[in-house]
A and B are shown apart, each in its own frame.
Chain A
Amino acid sequence: KQEVTQIPAALSVPEGENLVLNCSFTDSAIYNLQWFRQDPGKGLTSLLLIQSSQREQTSGRLNASLDKSSGRSTLYIAASQPGDSATYLCAVNQGGSEKLVFGKGTKLTVNP
């Protein structure tokens, strides 16, 4: 059974700092991996999608990497801003299934 773990559970940083969020998964037979952002009481916003054949994806100040063989992904946020404060969720999509398995998320607080 696929399990997704995110470390740390919470992170507080000063504005402007670069930071890394970590995601690990137990079954490397994934089709893709996604990073989402969730604001309090809201739904999910997709940030980056990495196919299993890819190593990384970039969007603006965000960069996500994928090491499928070791079951790890990282989300790098450059020059963090208070508006980046949210919970970041990692989810994997198993091959042959549309189901997503989520981690518990990392709650990020960027202090002005």
Chain B
Amino acid sequence: GAVVSQHPSRVICKSGTSVKIECRSLDFQATTMFWYRQFPKQSLMLMATSNEGSKATYEQGVEKDKFLINHASLTLSTLTVTSAHPEDSSFYICSASSPNSNQPQHFGDGTRLSIL
């Protein structure tokens, strides 16, 4: 089945640091990837839709300059949290669309980001 790999799984860093999270589709090409954020006891909230070769589409209320998304190839999308602060601490999950699958999206294992 389609596999999505997300790296790193856990990040702990100081306030002001920029953090890059990678999302890779391992055995399929994904023209579209999605980035979600999940706060404790809350649902997954879509942050942005990442489109290969074009600019990401951000959901309302998500700062484009804060959360930089790059989808440079059909198998890789990156999310960079710039100048992270404690309020950015959250669980970030990516997913990828597989056009040849009966499942709309395949999810990575998530990245736990903790900003001190």
Contact = CB atoms under 8 A, between A and B. Distances in A.
Interface of A: 4, 32, 34, 36, 41-46, 49, 89, 91, 93, 98-105
Contacts of A101: 46
5 contacts: A44-B95, A46-B107, A89-B44, A98-B97, A102-B45
Chain A binding surface SS class:
strand
B112 A100 contact: no
Contact of A43 (B41, B102, B104, B109): B109
B8 to A, nearest CB: 13
Contact of A32 (B34, B41, B42, B104): B104
B103 A43 contact: no
Contacts of A93: 104
A99 B93 contact: no
